[in-house]
């Protein structure tokens, strides 16, 4: 996924909202963005229900949710909103339609999926280890497919992803995306853990998949 995100970052340097009118098959690309975020929202829910840990950014926001007693979706939107302010200040060309869809959709969808699936399957605390393992595997796969669809549409980066590319760009490559992302993920996971979120194999796997 690194290559697709790199391509998106380079696109962000060269264009912005004005490119939307000239993009081929825009309808299909918007559909890919929505589908990708839908799959990622479901993936977050399944990883959350597996109790093996989520990706670092979701882990941090789940921690905020537990600490503040606000919904996960609300915490995702709030945190993404703060990051978007930094992106707008540093390199607003990274903000596209896909950025806004990612900012608002994943958390809201994840909350909705969580309510429906726990109503069907019961509380995650009661799940057997084998079932939790299946949820982990499916969650990771759905996240990969969702991220691929979202990235290939080339309609913007999520705020959390954009920060790493902006740092690499502004440091002129002295601080690479990969190493800065490792630092970001470590900090996000640490904050999530301190606030009561689960950090586990799922967190490590997702960090490796995205970074």
Number of Cα atoms under 13 Å in the Cβ half of residue 136: 19
State residue 176's pLDDT score: 87
In SS3 terms, 47-91 reads as HHHHCCCCCHHHHHHHHHHHHHCCCHHHHHHHHHHHHHHHHHHHH
Q: Residue 20 has what pLDDT?
A: 44
Cα separation, 82 vs 117, whole angstroms = 30
| Contact of 80 with 159, CB cutoff 8 Å | yes
What is the pLDDT, as a whole number, of residue 76? 95
Q: What is the reported pLDDT for 178?
A: 85
How many other CB atoms are found less than 10 A from the CB of residue 167?
Answer: 19
| Confidence at residue 116, expressed as pLDDT on a 0 to 100 scale | 96
For the stretch 123-149, pLDDT in tens is: 999 999 999 999 999 999 999 888 888
The backbone torsions φ and ψ at residue 153, rounded to the nearest 5 degrees and listed phi first, read -70, -25
pLDDT score at 24: 61
10-residue averages of pLDDT along the chain (211 residues):
50 44 70 92 96 95 96 95 90 84 92 96 95 96 88 83 88 86 92 95 84 50
pTM of the model: 0.84
- Predicted local distance difference test score (pLDDT) of residue 121: 95
């Amino acid at each position: 996924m690194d290559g697709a995100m790199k391509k998106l970052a380079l696109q962000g340097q060269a264009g912005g909202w004005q490119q939307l009118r000239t993009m081929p098959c825009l309808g299909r690309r918007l559909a890919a963005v929505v589908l990708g975020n839908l799959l990622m929202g479901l993936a977050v829910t399944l990883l959350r229900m597996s109790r093996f840990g989520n990706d670092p950014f979701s882990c941090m926001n789940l921690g905020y949710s537990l600490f503040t007693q606000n919904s996960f979706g609300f915490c995702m939107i709030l945190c993404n909103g703060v990051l978007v302010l930094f992106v707008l200040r540093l390199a607003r060309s990274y903000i596209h339609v896909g950025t806004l869809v990612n900012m608002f959709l994943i958390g809201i969808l994840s909350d909705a999926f969580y309510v429906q699936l726990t109503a069907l399957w019961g509380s995650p605390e009661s799940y057997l280890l084998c079932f939790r393992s299946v949820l982990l595997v499916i969650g990771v796969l759905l996240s990969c497919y969702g991220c691929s669809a979202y990235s290939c549409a080339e309609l913007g980066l999520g705020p959390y992803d954009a920060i790493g590319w902006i740092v690499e760009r502004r440091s002129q490559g002295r601080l690479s995306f990969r190493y800065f992302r490792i630092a970001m993920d470590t900090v996000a996971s640490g904050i999530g853990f301190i606030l009561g979120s689960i950090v586990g194999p799922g967190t490590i796997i997702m960090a490796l998949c995205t970074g």
